[in-house]
Amino acid sequence: MVISLTLSRRLPSRWPGLLRCCSTNTESSARSAVLDNVLSTFRSICGEDNVSLGEAVREQHGKDESVHRCCPPDVVVFPRCVEEVSALAKVCHHHRFPIIPFGTGTGLEGGVGAVKGGVCFSLRNMDQVLDLHQEDFDVTVEPGVTRKALNAYLRDTGLWFPVDPGADASLCGMAATSASGTNAVRYGTMRENVINLEVVLADGTIIHTAGNGRRPRKTSAGYNLTNLFVGSEGTLGIITKTTLRLYGIPEAMVSAVCSFPSIQDAVDSTVQVLQAGVPIARIEFLDDVMIDACNRFSGLSYPVTPTLFLEFHGSEQSLEEQVNTTEDITHSNRGSDFQWARDAETRNQLWKARHDAWYAALALRPGCKAYATDVCVPMSRLPQIIVETKEDLIENRLTGPIAGHVGDGNFHCLMVVDPNNAEEMHRVHLFTERLARRALAMDGTCTGEHGVGLGKRALLCEEMGPMAIQVMQGLKDALDPYNVMNPGKILQPREL
């Protein structure tokens, strides 16, 4: 197949940042005609009960946790196996009917909206843990298996899967968005922890990105197809299985909280801890606004100053060394004495408070909505970008507590906004663009872990440049020539 490289052109300037969910009357009529033709085929493939035209079901599958408005699909199907996914995809490909994969709907950039209508493939019925190889530290799961469900399954094996984005997301969905979270500083992101993928392409072809059934810890064989699909957000194919790396549950874990007089002190401590070779498991930053919100929401009483939440994993002896080194570093940067969370219950309470930051931020303005935007920069630029971002928030009268995975330079602004206030929504939109461009100016990225989805397509063009976007578009055209796979996401629509 010849890959044609054609530059994706931007939307006209009169549409900056706006999502045009509504199709034209002509498009709607054409889709209705296709839908009438395919419904009976869908039902014959996956059963009458696994095809839904209900408004509530369609709306549930047309929105994630982002601020993008609901764009429901025309129909939702619930396949039970990869063969059904493949058969359904073949029908959609033949009729050029859009396909939107759906896991748990916990995304943050509008990735599940059916902006061109079509059929949502809800993969919740494919929920089996298929192959566990304890001695090889790997497992293969279907797309309906969530992070918490896998770790519950592994509970008695001495193994766990540590990638933790906070939400109980589906593991194949986490692969599709290249998710990470609080443990990434030690265990890596999904990109480092996916060994193999089973993917159904737009035309129904089933491929295995590292070879059928293969699960080596490393390979230098051919193109890295696995990483091509990790982070592809459903635009290149439907992930129906993922093989993941597992880890031994540490002998001991201990968490701590340390407060600092300034952002610079907190980030300097982080950099020095990593430079000292401390294999810290988690090191999370919360600014003064965020720690105040968490105190109120979770019943905590930490000082309202820039704060680090830390966690150490290892043997009892290695923990003592890690903690002593880290305490010396934080004290040299004017950090407070550690407040400890040693037992499992206290430790879980601490990290629940961190993961509840979204709800804590919402509680600052009851009745409002939250929008989480993230960027990632080299760690040396983290103090500057956080300080400039806080100044921007204050100057523009916006509520945006900051929390970050400072061990890898990634942080989030949890914007709390009144969706009925058009002027405030506009200010938030302009702020998020300034934040992303500030990160790009500091050699960073417009998204560290949330993905591109609908909201950051123009920013991706700025980040990657026209030639890289041409290559991406060429790959998309080669794998999905009719643009049926989650259309409108990642790459800008092309004018015909």
User: Tens digit of pLDDT for each residue in 425-435?
Assistant: 999 999 999 99
Q: Which of 341, 364, 387 is the last residue of a domain?
A: 364
User: 373 falls in which pLDDT band (50, 70, 90)?
Assistant: very high
The CATH number of the domain holding residue 302 is 3.30.70.2190
Look at residue 26 in the predicted model and tell me its pLDDT. Answer: 65
Pair of tokens at residue 110: 């509008």
d(CA 112, CA 454): 9
Domain boundary among 122, 140, 163: 122
Q: What span, in angstroms and rounded, lies between the C-alpha atoms of 386 and 392?
A: 10
Q: Is residue 221 part of a domain?
A: no
Q: Specify the CATH number for the domain of residue 100.
A: 3.30.43.10
Within-domain flag for 14: no
pLDDT at 207 over 80: yes
CA dist list (Å): 395 to 139, 208, 363, 392: 49, 51, 22, 5
Its sign, for the CA torsion 242, 248, 253, 257, is negative
The answer to whether the CB of 133 falls within 8 A of the CB of 217 is no
Residue 6 pLDDT more than 50?
no
Residues 6+ apart with CB under 8 A from 267: 285, 379, 382, 383, 386, 406
CA atoms within 13 A on the CB side of 368: 23
Domain membership of residue 290 (yes or no) is yes
Query: How many Cβ atoms sit within 10 Å of the Cβ of residue 3?
Result: 12
- Please return the burial class of 228, using the count of CB atoms within 10 Å of its CB with bins 0-12, 13-18 and 19+: middle
Residue 65: the pLDDT is: 87
E-state strands within 346-451: 369-376, 402-405, 410-417
Would 484 be classed as within a structural domain? no
pLDDT of residue 203: 98
Q: Is residue 332 part of a domain?
A: yes
- Does a structural domain hold residue 280? yes
Whether the CB-CB separation of 174 and 163 falls below 8 Å is answered with yes
Residue type for position 397:
R
Q: 391 to each of 34, 246, 382, how far by Cα in Å? A: 52, 42, 14
Most confident of 18-27, 207-216, 365-374: 207-216
Query: Does residue 329 sit within a domain?
Result: yes
18 pLDDT band (50/70/90 cuts)? very low
Choosing from 364, 382, 403, the residue where a domain stops is: 364
Burial category of 24 from C-beta neighbours within 10 Å (exposed 0-12, middle 13-18, buried 19 and up): exposed
The model's pLDDT over 380-412, given as tens digits with 9 standing for 90+, comes to: 899 899 999 999 999 999 999 999 999 999 999
What are the pLDDT digits (tens) for 20-63?
444 556 677 778 888 988 999 999 999 999 999 999 999 999 99
Could you give the number of structural domains in the chain? 2
Instruction: Report the alpha-carbon distance of residue 413 to residue 432 in Å, rounded.
Output: 9
pTM: 0.91
> For the residues 453-473, what does the mean pLDDT come to?
96
104 is a domain residue = yes
The range of the structural domain enclosing residue 323 comes to 250-364
E strands of 291-368, at which residues?
307-314, 339-341
**SS3 label, residue 413:** strand
Least confident of 16-30, 176-190, 324-338, 405-419: 16-30
